[in-house]
Amino acid sequence: MNTNLKLGVHVAGAHNLLPKDGQGSSSAFVELYFDGQKYRTTVKEKDLDPIWDESFYFNISDPGILPNLMLDAFVYNNVKGTNSRSFLGKVSITGTSFVPYSDAVVLHYPLEKRGIFSRVRGELGLKVYITDDPTIKSSDPVVSMARNSQTHPESIQEPVRKSETRHTFHHLPHPTQAPANAAVPAAPPPQMRYGYEQIKPNPPPQPPKLVRMYSESSNQPVDYALKETSPYLGGGRVVGGRVIRTDKASSTYDLVEKMHFLFVRVVKARDLPAMDITGSLDPYVEVRIGNYKGVTRHMEKNQNPMWNIVFAFSRERMQANVLEVVVKDKDLVKDDFVGFVRFDLNEVPLRVPPDSPLAPQWYRLEDKKGERIKSELMLAVWIGTQADEAFPDAWHSDAATPVDSSGAASVLIKSKVYQAPRLWYVRVNVVEAQDLVPTDKTRFPDTYVKAHIGSQVMKTKSVQARSLNPLWNEDLLFVAAEPFEDHLILTVEDRVGPGKDEILGRVIIPLNMVEKRADDRIIHSRWFNLEKPVAIDVDQLKKDKFSMRIHLRICLDGGYHVLDESTHYSSDLRPTAKQLWKPTIGVLELGILNAVGLHPMKTRDGRGTSDTYCVAKYGHKWVRTRTIVDNLCPKYNEQYTWEVFDTATVLTVGVFDNSQLGDKGANSKDLKIGKVRIRISTLEAGRVYTHSYPLLVLHPTGVKKMGEVHLAIRFSCTNFVNMLYTYSRPLLPKMHYVRPFSVMQLDMLRHQAVHIVAARLGRAEPPLRKEVVEYMSDVDSHLWSMRRSKANFFRLMTIFAPLFAVSKWFGDICMWRNPITTVLVHVLFIMLVCFPELILPTVFLYMFLIGIWNFRYRPRYPPHMNTKISQAEGVHPDELDEEFDSFPTSRNPDLVRMRYDRLRSVAGRIQTVVGDIATQGERMQSLLSWRDPRATAIFVTFCLVAAIVLYVTPFQAIAALIGIFMMRHPRFRHRLPSVPVNFFRRLPARTDSML
């Protein structure tokens, strides 16, 4: 008896499975049963035609009873919502059908029902064979209680699969489920490998769980998916989006974990002794606790200095119980000791807002011997949380580095709230000019007007008039920010020759003197005198009776929303004019908790590290957390609030590495680590969303995960009626529709707006750098990218997929693939034709039922960046290099030529598709245009006959005949195209007229 005999089963794939998930698809897997053994394939998400190509090997315990054994293959749909499965069909193969490997082929078996009332369809492709190859090893089978083919599949225990048995380890399954391609024992050993992660013997309590996703976006790697967490925040533990309150009242900062800090406010000193030979003193204060210290700036020659500076020390990092505040004298060689004050941390009071701030007190300084001296220092020492009013302005020591308030680098680690400037569109209508005085009297001037506002420059078209009064009547558009620091400068110039222009006159108009408007009312025009840019002869001025003038119509358009970010991710849609603002509809609260697993962005002392901070942007309000120095898992725990005026807006949170703290200083750029976008309309009101978001960044080498940022978000609706009313309002203010801008104008103005906002925020203290503002505003989203083009194409195909599915379903109906369904469709069609008043109610009722059914599959998480949708996983390296290339290009000509040829090929295919669509439209027009006289005569005659027939025949009868004819049985069909299709394809189009 051959003991090495095994039954090999190769699961090739399935075809035309029955959709079971309520969304027109199924997530199928196959379970195989043979001789008390059970194996399972992987789960193919959202695929009615899955392909597995997986092989399994069963032990044959007794070859003598092989003809009496049976192989059962059950196809199931994996139901993620309930962690269960639904039946799709089964295949049973008797032992008499088993053949050797050399004779085995893939056979497609039709799926069978499990019971009378079950419904199945489709086929399963299997290759079943017997082999005695000794190199193939199978798992130890676990024998069931009754060895026969009628044993219920659920009663068979799954055997432990050895790693060498299977070589198809496709993806990591959900943590709460067993791996899809291998059975798992009830008590796995501690060192067992689970996918590509090792299971620990004692997992931590309440680990982050993967969010269940019911769309195709779940196909991306698990490491790139959101993770739902249940942190303990200020108001209690968050479970299922709700805060489980504790006995204590929640604080104002209830979306972050409470962190305690030791605050030390150094106010001033008095009666300090003279330490230098000259009788002067350069005092400064050093606050020390353990290995951490904070240093104030020194005051030159001042015995009664004032600092008024607050230091904050993280309490969880403290390793000492004594706080020392030392006053020293700044010296070139060695700083002199003046005196100190010592505090025991056990006696420091705890302050919880809204308690009043702790009042500073005078403390007598002690010398090195512990004796008190005459000098005094005013201090306030207390323990508080990040809800303290002093927290944003305090000098933090979140790393093992001294905090020096006198250094420029210390400014860069503080948290800050920024207010972006209010932006206006400046509309300059250049009407005409009069009495121009050209230098060359022998020719008529070729004039144009150049306008400047800051770095923005616009020109009108050149006009060569037969008089000295040129007419333009042209609009120029600019962006300006309050307060208006730049002036509008207009110059009238004469194009004397190629590349040579001469200024004829100039006028400077302050923007704060320009009229503002909030609608499209007419602005009165004004004449402005043009001044010579250079001084001329005084006698010549006396001879000139008239001065040159320019006719202008200038206004600040406040009825528009100045787009300063990508239109797809706008955080504010309000017009500039405040009187047009609608009431708020809610409040958005954001808790920036921490970040984990950050990628090192720099090296320090021979090791990788990062100095990170977070930036959040919504509306005019930008916030920046403090910089956590030298930490790859920083804890921020800072909370911010915004007013919400429209739910169709997006909150953006970015994580950056502070490069200003290194040796390179202010010349280096802050490095981007990643960002998160959250659309307000996707958030349920009152729910607390606590998720860990992967920070995904596209590099020239491909997509890369730079770490994870942990956020807590809550949207609270304050006016439900106003929120519902916004869904009936236009997305943009009225002026965008009354006097719209062109696409080119919007792109140009948006670029200028981002430049202005970056310049203004870069002048704050600490500055929000230009590269941060541009990254948060998606300034380069309009540039060409092969990857984005493919992503948008596949998005378009996804949108039309339901239409294709309906067309395929109707084709199956017409071909009578399923007679029962086809007969039911005929009955429904005849009923709707006989009672046409039921058509619209049936359609809306059907959509209502679909919406109710999909409610159980609604997403329970905010949407996040998806590498599958973005086409970032399988992108070609050259396409990435092209995307990260500068504009204009910096690559060599041969590479640019290759990319240009590739772009031409892609554009050629797009051109062909657009041409085909245009051809069909032109054929429709040619039906009545007599371009083909015979075709038009035939169609006109048909229209006349159809009009008579439709007049004397009831509409229901005509509709019923047409419907039944379209759904006729295949035996009454021909393979050739129908007569109307042939007639339509013969109609002429304008392709004959194209060069």
3-state DSSP call for residue 168? Answer: coil
> Distance (Å, rounded) from C-alpha 674 to C-alpha 706?
7
752-756 long-range Cβ contacts below 8 angstroms, 24+ apart? 752/456, 752/478, 752/479, 753/423, 753/479, 753/562, 753/563, 753/564, 754/564, 754/565, 754/779, 755/455, 756/421, 756/423, 756/454, 756/479, 756/480, 756/481, 756/564
pLDDT digits (tens, 9 = 90+) for 721-766: 888 888 888 888 889 888 999 888 888 999 999 999 999 998 888 8
Residue range 166-175: average pLDDT? 34
> Distance (Å, rounded) from C-alpha 452 to C-alpha 463?
19
pLDDT digits (tens, 9 = 90+) for 366-394: 888 878 888 889 999 988 888 787 887 78
Give me the residues paired with residue 715 across strands. Answer: 588, 685
Indicate the range of 80-94, 720-734, 885-899 predicted with least confidence.
Answer: 885-899
3-state DSSP call for residue 267? Answer: strand
H or E element, residue 483? none
Residue range 588-609: average pLDDT? 89
pLDDT digits (tens, 9 = 90+) for 612-637: 999 999 999 999 998 888 889 988 88
Q: Are 282 and 333 in contact (CB under 8 A)?
A: no
Q: Which residues of 606-633 are buried (b: 16+ CB within 10 A; e: fewer)?
A: eeebbbbbbbbbbbbbbbbbbbbbbbbe
pLDDT band at 199 (very low <50, low <70, confident <90, very high): very low
Indicate the range of 136-140, 571-575, 673-677, 846-850 predicted with least confidence.
Answer: 136-140
Which residue from 8, 67, 13 is spatially nearest to 37, judged by alpha carbons? 8
Model confidence at 144: pLDDT above 50: no
pLDDT score at 963:
81
Tell how many helices (H) and how many strands (E) occur in the chain.
14, 47
Positions of E strands within 95-168: 99-100, 107-110, 123-131
CA 290 from chain center: how many Å?
43
pLDDT band at 124 (very low <50, low <70, confident <90, very high): very high
pLDDT score at 13:
92
In the numeric block, the tokens 């007794």 are attached to: 62
pLDDT band at 412 (very low <50, low <70, confident <90, very high): low
Which residue from 251, 205, 252, 210 is spatially nearest to 231, judged by alpha carbons? 205
Rg from Cα positions in the chain: 38
Tokens of 139: 């798992």
Q: What is the dihedral of CA 117, 118, 123, 125, to 10 degrees?
A: -130
Share of the chain above pLDDT 70, in %: 85
List C-alpha distances in Å: 666 to 412, 612, 658, 766.
10, 16, 10, 12
> Distance (Å, rounded) from C-alpha 686 to C-alpha 681?
13
Looking only at the bridges linking them, the beta strands covering 456-459 and 463-464 are unpaired
Q: pTM for the complete prediction?
A: 0.66
Model confidence at 207: pLDDT above 80: no
CA 890 from chain center: how many Å?
29
Sheet bearing 70-79, strands edge to edge: 37-40, 28-34, 70-79, 84-94
pLDDT score at 170:
34
Indicate the residue type of 197: E
Which residue from 123, 73, 65, 124 is spatially nearest to 95, judged by alpha carbons? 65
> Phi and psi dihedrals of 844, rounded to 5?
-70, -35
Model confidence at 939: pLDDT above 80: yes
CA 510 from chain center: how many Å?
40
Model confidence at 995: pLDDT above 60: no
Residue range 103-124: average pLDDT? 83
Comparing 829 with 194, the larger pLDDT belongs to 829
> Phi and psi dihedrals of 948, rounded to 5?
-70, -45
Indicate the residue type of 184: V
Q: Are 429 and 437 in contact (CB under 8 A)?
A: no
Indicate the residue type of 113: K
What's 531's DSSP letter? B
pLDDT score at 73:
94
CA-based end-to-end distance of the chain: 80
Q: Are 862 and 689 in contact (CB under 8 A)?
A: yes
pLDDT digits (tens, 9 = 90+) for 234-285: 767 787 777 776 555 455 677 888 888 889 999 999 888 887 767 678 889 9
Indicate the residue type of 86: S
Cβ neighbourhood burial of 326 (10 Å; 0-12, 13-18, 19+): buried
pLDDT band at 510 (very low <50, low <70, confident <90, very high): very high
Residue range 108-124: average pLDDT? 84
CA 396 from chain center: how many Å?
31
Count of C-beta atoms within a 10 Å radius of residue 675: 23
pLDDT score at 236:
76
Q: Are 680 and 689 in contact (CB under 8 A)?
A: no
Comparing 545 with 959, the larger pLDDT belongs to 959
Residue range 691-702: average pLDDT? 86
> Distance (Å, rounded) from C-alpha 655 to C-alpha 627?
10
Q: ω before 357 within 30° of 0 (cis)? A: no
pLDDT score at 2:
59
Residue range 884-911: average pLDDT? 77
pLDDT digits (tens, 9 = 90+) for 763-806: 888 888 899 999 998 887 767 777 777 777 777 777 777 888 88
pLDDT band at 156 (very low <50, low <70, confident <90, very high): very low
pLDDT digits (tens, 9 = 90+) for 456-499: 999 999 887 777 788 899 999 999 999 898 899 999 988 887 77
Residue range 549-577: average pLDDT? 89
pLDDT band at 210 (very low <50, low <70, confident <90, very high): very low
Taking all residues of the chain, what is their mean pLDDT, rounded to a whole number?
A: 79
Comparing 984 with 432, the larger pLDDT belongs to 432
Model confidence at 564: pLDDT above 70: yes
Tokens of 785: 């990218």
pLDDT band at 975 (very low <50, low <70, confident <90, very high): low
Comparing 335 with 533, the larger pLDDT belongs to 335
Share of the chain above pLDDT 90, in %: 19
pLDDT score at 193:
30
pLDDT band at 216 (very low <50, low <70, confident <90, very high): very low
In sequence order, the 6+-apart residues with CB closer than 8 A to the CB of 823 are none
HEC letters along 907-936: HHHHHHHHHHHHHHHHHHHCCCCCCCHHHH
Sheet bearing 586-596, strands edge to edge: 209-210, 227-228, 688-699, 702-717, 586-596, 635-644
Positions of E strands within 251-305: 260-270, 283-289, 292-295
Model confidence at 399: pLDDT above 70: no
pLDDT digits (tens, 9 = 90+) for 5-46: 889 999 999 988 988 887 788 899 999 999 888 999 999 988
3-state DSSP call for residue 755? Answer: helix
HEC letters along 880-913: HHHHCCCCCCCCCHHHHHHHHHHHHHHHHHHHHH
Q: Are 791 and 870 in contact (CB under 8 A)?
A: yes
